[in-house]
Amino acid sequence: MSLPTITARIADACTRAGRSPAEVTLIAVSKVQPVERVEAVLAAGHRIFGENRVQEAEGKWPAWKAAHRGIELHLLGPLQSNKVRPALELFDAIHSVDRPKLVRRIADIAQETGRCPDLFVQINTGAEPQKAGLPPAEADAFIRNMRAMDVPPAGLMCIPPVDEAPSLHFSLLAKIAARNGLAGLSMGMSADFEEAIAFGATHVRVGSAIFGERVAG
């Protein structure tokens, strides 16, 4: 796979769904990818990337941001409370907001600094105990609480269970977003982003299909 192939597939999926490709943001998931692969995607003109860990991103993205204009960086993995300050400095969006303590910390630092990335609430649509995210039943109250603290969410994020039909989870996330007046839907990865687009995804997170399989070690 390659960036042009994925871009074309996104356009085709949007056509089938009666949507414009401009409605879908492609996040190239660059976590643990070799430097040369990321630089090749940068050289191709792509500017929107996703990372899973604040520390890893801190080690490589400031230099790339200095060298390339218009880079937009998304944090996709869990965010620890003690990493909120550097995360708010480095990232343009955080897709893993999932607990009151984290919201409180984000709100305090955002008020202090005057800067807050776009925030996506992670919903554990499959109720998987090993996975981060809010239970769907707690989403409405959590969103109200974020708005009350002046850090309103831009949307929702989910990662469907690997052994279930992703459409069930995309549909559930879209319903939660609609009833809360949220436009952003971060859902769909390399194996299922076209299906996610059919259910209204605004952000798709594609890694291996762009960069190739991650290098072990």
Q: How many CB atoms lie within 10 A of CB 3?
A: 18
| pLDDT at position 212 over 90 | no
Q: Which pLDDT score, from 0 to 100, does residue 12 have?
A: 98
Identify the residue whose tokens are 């969410």: 153
Q: Which pLDDT score, from 0 to 100, does residue 217 have?
A: 46
Q: Which pLDDT score, from 0 to 100, does residue 213 have?
A: 79
pTM, 2 dp: 0.95
Domains and CATH numbers, the chain: 3-211 (3.20.20.10)
Q: Which pLDDT score, from 0 to 100, does residue 215 have?
A: 62
Handedness of CA 174, 143, 138, 28 (dihedral sign): positive
Q: Cα(126)–Cα(53) distance, rounded to whole angstroms?
A: 23
- Cα angle 99, 101, 104 (rounded to 5 degrees) comes to 110
* 152 phi and psi angles, rounded to 5 deg: -65, 140
127-160: pLDDT as tens digits: 999 999 999 999 999 999 999 999 999 999 999 9
